[in-house]
Structure formats: C-alpha cells, structure tokens
Amino acid sequence: MVFLKIDGIHHTYFTKNSATTALSDISLEVREGEFVSFLGPSGCGKTTLLSIIAGLIRPTEGTVSLENQPVHKLNNQIGYMLQQDYLFPWKSIKENILLGLKISNSLTEEKEQYAFNLLEQMGLGGFETQYPSQLSGGMRQRVALVRTLATEPKLLMLDEPFSALDFQTKLKLEDLVSDTLKTFGKTAILVTHDIGEAIAMSDRIFLFSPRPGRLHKTFEVPEQLKNLAPFQARNHEAYPELFQSIWKELENIEAK
C-alpha cells in the first residue's frame, strides 16, 4: 500500500496585487518506513510543500493523502518540525515537550513518560525545569525534535533542522536523529540545502528546481550507504560519486 501519496500539486500564493506560483505539477510517493529528502535551491517551494503535506495550506490544485486519507482531514498523525525551532521561551523544557500532547488533549502519564525517555535519549535528561534560553542551539533543536516525536506521529517532517548549527554538532545530531527514527521505524521527510546531509540521511532524494518549484530528478541512494549511520556514509567510497552527480544537476538547475 502507498503510504504518502502526493498527486498533481500546484500551488499559487495570491496577495492583493501579486500571484506567485510556488509549486507546479508535483507528484511523488513515499513508502512506509522510508526516509526521503527534499533538496533544492532557496525559494523552490520546499517549505510550501511541507506545509501542504501537513495539511496547513490547501493547495490550489492536487491532493495529498496518508494511508488513503486526505491529509487535511487527519488529526495529529503528521509531526512537523518547523524551519525555526519555535520553542516557547517562557515555558520550561518540560512544558515545551508536552505542549503538542496537551493541545491535542492526549496527555496521559504513559505519554509523558515516553516524552521524558526521548529527552533522556537525546542526552537532555535533567534539563526538564530549565528554559530554552539556558540551552545551546543544538540542545534547543533536540528539544524541538522531542516535542515533535512525543505525539508519536506516523509521518515526521523536518524543515532544515540542522542548518543553524556548527558542523560538528550537525554531524552528531544527524547520527542521533537517524538512529532514533530507525529505532521507531518512522517515515520521514527532511528538507535540506546540504547535498551531503541528504545523501547521508536518506533512502531517496527528490531534487527540486525553482520558479515555479518542480520535481527535477529523483536519486536512489545506493544500498551500501542506506544501512550506514550518516557519519559513516559520508566516509564511504560510494558517497563522492552520488555527491558529484547531484552537484552537477544542481548546477544545471541554477544555470537555467
């Protein structure tokens, strides 16, 4: 069965005196348990597409369904970690990670324990009573991730979760996120500008071209890389070849 089906999406943003077509003719499918990346230049519509998949924006044309249900009718089955971390500064780490559960009225003792376990796994046990301003950027990103995972979504979407981090923190978090998602068998979509990150984390990579955003090419990550942790994948001999071919395609796109 198809898990996530994106079919014939067009999207135009209308304002009083302008119309911007952000996406044109996007169709793709994601299998259950698969990890895919959306890669492409700034402005090609990646965030728009995630917001459509999350059911937050209704597309001008086309449909998105998760397990054959239209996404705008779903409740709480899609976890969306936004491009900025959006932790609430006046709430403690504990309040922040339980927020999604509270809003959806599904906070139970068991779910609270699950969220605390995730926090522990992310190396943040003991930080529950602290506030976001007391944490580093990488720690805040981990808290945001725990908050997203705490509602146990069927599909997880991450919009450039590592882009504001230093390289070392980013590499460590890539391994941690990849390991956590594999453990829970989650289906995930990662948005990134970083070719290396896309290769290291994904099973498949969808490359988008801008103005309007179209699906330019799909890359299958070689089997040898899929089963490695991201850090190891970056050091594997099969890595540079795929990097080069994606790099070339990106140059083609940008030369147009």
Ligand X SMILES: Nc1ncnc2c1ncn2[C@@H]1O[C@H](COP(=O)(O)OP(=O)(O)OP(=O)(O)O)[C@@H](O)[C@H]1O
Interface residue list for ligand X (CB under 6 A): 13, 15, 20, 22, 42-48
Beta bridge partners of 69: 66
Region binding Mg ion by CB under 5 A among candidate stretches 39-47, 163-171, 177-185, 198-206: 39-47
To ligand X, the closest distance from the beta carbon of 43 in angstroms equals 4
To Mg ion, the closest distance from the beta carbon of 47 in angstroms equals 3
Of 46 and 234, nearer to Mg ion (C-beta) is 46
60 binds Mg ion (CB under 5 A): no
65 binds Mg ion (CB under 5 A): no
Of 17 and 68, nearer to ligand X (C-beta) is 17
Of 45 and 138, nearer to ligand X (C-beta) is 45
How many CB atoms are located within 10 Å of the residue 121 CB? Answer: 16
Of 47 and 92, nearer to Mg ion (C-beta) is 47
How many CB atoms are located within 10 Å of the residue 53 CB? Answer: 23
Selected from 12, 47, 77, 169, the binder of Mg ion by CB under 5 A is 47
Q: Are 50 and 26 in contact (CB under 8 A)?
A: no
HEC string of 98-153 equals HHHHHHCCCCCHHHHHHHHHHHHHCCCCCCCCCCHHHCCHHHHHHHHHHHHHHCCC
* Binder of residue 43, out of Mg ion, ligand X, none (CB less than 5 to 8 A by kind): ligand X
Q: Are 33 and 88 in contact (CB under 8 A)?
A: no
Region binding Mg ion by CB under 5 A among candidate stretches 28-36, 42-50, 61-69, 96-104: 42-50
The sheet with strand 35-39 has its strands ordered as: 78-81, 155-159, 187-192, 35-39, 204-209, 214-220
For 165-175, b where at least 16 C-beta lie within 10 A, e where not — what string? beeebbbbbbb
* Binder of residue 13, out of ligand X, Mg ion, none (CB less than 5 to 8 A by kind): ligand X
Q: Are 212 and 256 in contact (CB under 8 A)?
A: no
Of 139 and 165, nearer to ligand X (C-beta) is 165
Of 81 and 97, nearer to ligand X (C-beta) is 81
To Mg ion, the closest distance from the beta carbon of 138 in angstroms equals 20
Residues that bind Mg ion (CB under 5 A): 47
